[in-house]
A and B are shown apart, each in its own frame.
Chain A
Amino acid sequence: MFSNKGYGWKLGAALALIAVLGVYAARKGESINPPLWRCVVEPRRWDNTVLWLPYARVVSVHDAEFEVEATDAKIRVTGKSPVPVGGRLTLRGIFRADGPRIELIASRPLPPDLGRRRLLMEVVSVLVVLIVIANFIRHFAFRPKVLQVEGVD
Chain B
Amino acid sequence: MADLLVHAASAYVAARPLRDHRLRSIVYVGVCLPDLLYKGLLYFGGAPNYLCEPTHSPLGLLPFCYALSLFFEEAWRKRAFGAMLGGAYLHLLFDLGKNYVGSGVILWAFPFSMEAVELGWYASEDSVTLMLPALAVIALVELCTDRLRRRWPLSRPG
**How many B residues touch the partner, as a band?**
35 or more
Q: Which of A26, A106, A139 is within 8 Å of B48, CB to CB? A: A26
**How many A residues touch the partner, as a band?**
35 or more
In the bound assembly, the distance between CA atoms of A7 and B73 in angstroms comes to 12
With A21-B54, A108-B123, A128-B32 already in contact, the answer to whether A29 and B4 are too (CB < 8 A) is no
Is B60 within 8 A of A2, CB to CB?
no
B100-118 vs A, Cβ < 8 Å mask (1 yes, 0 no): 1111000100110010000
**For residues 105 through 137 of chain A, which have their beta carbon under 8 Å from a beta carbon of chain B?**
105-108, 110-111, 114, 117-118, 120-122, 124-126, 128-129, 132-133, 135-136
Residues of chain B at the chain A interface (Cβ within 8 Å): 1-5, 8, 21-22, 25-26, 28-29, 32, 35-36, 41, 47-54, 60, 63-64, 66-67, 69-70, 72, 74, 77-78, 81, 99-103, 107, 110-111, 114, 123, 125, 127-128, 131
Q: Which residues of B contact A24 (CB under 8 A)?
A: 111
With A92-B103, A139-B21 already in contact, the answer to whether A29 and B128 are too (CB < 8 A) is no
Q: Which of B3, B70, B107, B110 is within 8 Å of A7, CB to CB? A: B70
Is B128 within 8 A of A120, CB to CB?
yes
Describe B's contact surface by its main secondary structure: helix
Residues of chain A at the chain B interface (Cβ within 8 Å): 2-4, 7, 10-11, 14-15, 17-18, 21-26, 28-30, 32-33, 50, 52, 54, 90-92, 105-108, 110-111, 114, 117-118, 120-122, 124-126, 128-129, 132-133, 135-136, 138-140
Is A32 within 8 A of B50, CB to CB?
yes
Q: Which residues of B contact A126 (CB under 8 A)?
A: 1
Give B2 Cβ to nearest chain A Cβ, in Å: 5
Q: Which residues of A contact B49 (CB under 8 A)?
A: 29
Q: Which residues of A contact B110 (CB under 8 A)?
A: 21, 25
